[in-house]
Structure 1
Amino acid sequence: MRRSLIARFALVATAALALAACGGGSDPLQNGGSGSSGSADTVVIGSANFVESQIIANIYAQALQAKGVKVDLRPPIGSRETYFPAIKEGSIDLIPEYTGTLLQYLNKNATETEPDAVYTALKAALPDNLTVLDKAAAEDKDAVVVTKDTATKYNATSIADLAPNCGQLTFGGPPEFQTRPDGIPGIQKTYNCTFKEYKALDAGGPLTVAALKNGDIQAADIFTTDASIPTNGFVVLTDPKDNFAAQNVVPLINKAKGTGTTADVLNQISAKLTTEGLTQLNAEASSDAKPSLATVAKNWLSQNGF
């Protein structure tokens, strides 16, 4: 989806607020680059506009740097609709990705839902200059999330249960979720669920969480590993018809730079990264201590033998 310049600035501002809220702080690896590509021997690393992506980008950067790879960790870029064109044209080289949503971004008619099938289809759908390295067992899906009161009111444990009442509910999430194939269009098609209204907020961040808590919205797109879910007693509705495909974490990288030591290090990270580990990373970042995301990444690397 193409966005106006104003919308892009809004995404950057939202990302900055989210990063500050989670103790992002300054990072010695980040140079705040202008967006131009780095030198041939430097891996330029980007991230999306939510904390988990930024933590994984920091993990990639620190691990690569420790093995002597020159890295340039850029500030958060925005949504996939903003950062994918950047990696495709070469202003960044590497970004953490999620297999299912990336596949559907590239091929709106993709029907694969199982992890291996999604991964195989994704590799075939990528532009010639890009590749994905090993996928992690770690998975973080978009999900339809409601409060415990809403789940009780409608006796809903699944999206299918909620569907007959969607017309009474306001849904909140990031702007791009309103048009993505597995977002609102997918929910409408798969479950015959049409919400009363859509409020464009942030990517499972503080705006969405606050709106769900105070009743401004009754359902939300929140990532399944988000620490706000257990903290607030939110209910993740199951997806029995697989609207949301497998979403394994995977390094998306410029093919020319995804070789040798760089590939080895990133594959080692993927081998260690679990869904439980993602949840713990998000919880640590949102804890009262508000550590920098660089510190959260460093702790994970140390705990996992890097």
Structure 2
Amino acid sequence: MPEGLDEFATKYKVHSESLAYLEIQQAGGTDITDDSIPLDDRRRKAAESSSKLINDADEFAGTVKEFRVPSAALPDGIPIDVIKPRNCNTNPIILVYFNGGGMVFGSKESDRPICQVLARDIPCVVVNVEYRLAPENKFPAAFEDGKNVLRWVMMNKALIGGTNDSKIGVVGCSAGGTIAATLCHEVTKGIAFQVLVYPWLDLRCEQPSCTEFENGPILTVDILRWSVDKFVKTPEEVENPRASPLLRESFTCLPPTLLLLAEFDPLRDQAYDYKRKIKEAGIDAESLMIKGSLHGFFSKPGHFKDLGLKAREKMFAFIKKRVASS
């Protein structure tokens, strides 16, 4: 076992899939914060290192169509993939999905496999969003892209394979969870539910889990702070409730919420604080912490087969219940 992992495995009850992933990352991981390496190279290497671990959609049968959502900021529009499985019903749910990556990394291509898994297994239509990344596009560019796409989807349900009666939910992983959470505060009608997967809800990163897992094992507080520096224009923006939705004053406008959490994750306690505020506002909120898991497990279904399935089963049951009651 690589240096340091034996101590971690002794202190915590780590799932075998997580241990194997840690070994892979230590053997060939990329230092994404090394600014001496061109950012495009780091993005490419990070995507390559994850590509072998994410694919679990070999059995996907359906269509993947690219659309361009009109945007004043992008002459060619915001790229989205609309993923529709062959087994979709006549009035499908539509999920609007935002990938993770600290607002600096990630793409719709990197998360296409998990989107295909969700589309196949719910089944539903998934809109996989390519929002603008930092540092080329600082706050609030990603949020503006997300809002444009969400509103466009609401007005074009039939065009993308749904119907006028299709329910819409938003899903976001990590930094994508930041976008999804903020959109639910800003677009207060037409969202049936939100699923936030180990979301980043407070850019200040001061919760107890940020201290406990300050040095990883996968996501470190230094990586989070590096990402914040790339994302915001001024230090004060970390306290902007749009960037840190945990700091919102009101939660009464939110739809029913599910939070899926990793056990060994500096962001874990932010989600519990967020759930508490939602419930105090009288809104239904559920959470499930996947024991033995690491930040990032959900979007790598090819590797995290057991842990990913546990999270998806909870997600599918939550969606079924919320859509049936809406």
Structure with the largest fraction of strand: 2
Fold-level similarity (TM above 0.5): no
Scaled to the shorter chain, the TM-score interval is: 0.3 to 0.5
- Return the structure number with greater helix share: 1
Structure number with higher relative contact order (C-alpha < 8 Å, ≥ 6 residues apart) = 1
Superposition TM-score, scaled by structure 1 size: 0.34
